[in-house]
Amino acid sequence: MITHKKLPNGFEYIEVKNSSAEAKIALQGAHLFHYKRVGEEPILWLSEVSDFEAGKAIRGGVPICWPWFGFHQDRSLPQHGFARTAMWDCVSCSEADEKSSSVILRLTHSQGSLKMWPYLFELDLHLTISDKLTMELKTTNLDRNSFKITQALHTYFSLSHISDAVIKGLDKKPYLDALTWKKEVQEGDITFNQEVDRVYQEVDGEITLSDKNRTLHVRNENSSSVVVWNPWIEKTSRMSAMKEDAYEHMLCIESANAFDDARVVKPQKSHTLKAEIF
């Protein structure tokens, strides 16, 4: 069942329920803010105090960073781009069978977007909700000129506790430590006892996230960069829409085209960033 809903303040979202899983997707930002499989705890973390208001990014779920990841050179422009707070259109909702549902949302250039990023484009998010979550972010260049994008599916995973979290699949991969701006190489599995903000490169295999309760797998296509982030104690206390202990129960593993993995999209061509979580 796929239902279009509104919160009392008019905030619009789509609710998906089938025999495998359920999900909720906001039209603002094409923001998937809930996904859980039947009989399991939610896979995505969502802040208990997150805003669901026009123009404010939701804290948790899967924000879409596009057409730039991180800060823009022009600091007057929004961090992580404009897609995550823009209103998207619902192109289609369909059910392949009782176990799988599909939602496609679209964002296109506007007078507002052209002031921030002077290109004509079409951006589609295709979500497939089943016993695995598939996210495909397709950028199509409708302009006469090529353009470069950096982007991320900024996935917040829900944890039993950060002290139990272990990430495998990034051993020996180079990364930029965004806390020190030094380039490092990963040695072994990733565990957490302090703030971590890293952009891994040359990623070509499956990533696993384990904690006390379960193991999840992330498989990316058309991406060789992955962001791993947990804000830890001090930064969490400074962040909006976060309780002070929020860092204990969330961890971001972001499927990305970031920094060295930036992509050039030629006129009338497309690039699709794909992530599967299972």
Residues tagged active-site: 154, 254
Q: Which single residue is written with the structure tokens 């430590």?
A: 177
SS3 233: helix
Q: What are phi and psi of 37, to 5 degrees?
A: -85, 150
Interatomic CA distance for residues 190 and 172, integer angstroms? 11
Q: Are 69 and 150 in contact (CB under 8 A)?
A: yes
Q: Are 14 and 6 in contact (CB under 8 A)?
A: no
Number of H-type helices and E-type strands within the chain: 2, 22
Would you call the peptide bond into 267 cis, given omega within 30 degrees of 0 as the criterion? no
Interatomic CA distance for residues 13 and 17, integer angstroms? 13
Interatomic CA distance for residues 125 and 138, integer angstroms? 6
Reference 67, options 133, 137, 9; nearest CA is: 137
- Angle at CA 168, nearest 5°, toward 163 and 173? 115
Interatomic CA distance for residues 132 and 135, integer angstroms? 10
Q: Which residues contact 168 (CB under 8 A, 6 or more apart)?
A: 189, 190, 207, 208, 210
SS3 238: helix
Q: Are 260 and 227 in contact (CB under 8 A)?
A: no
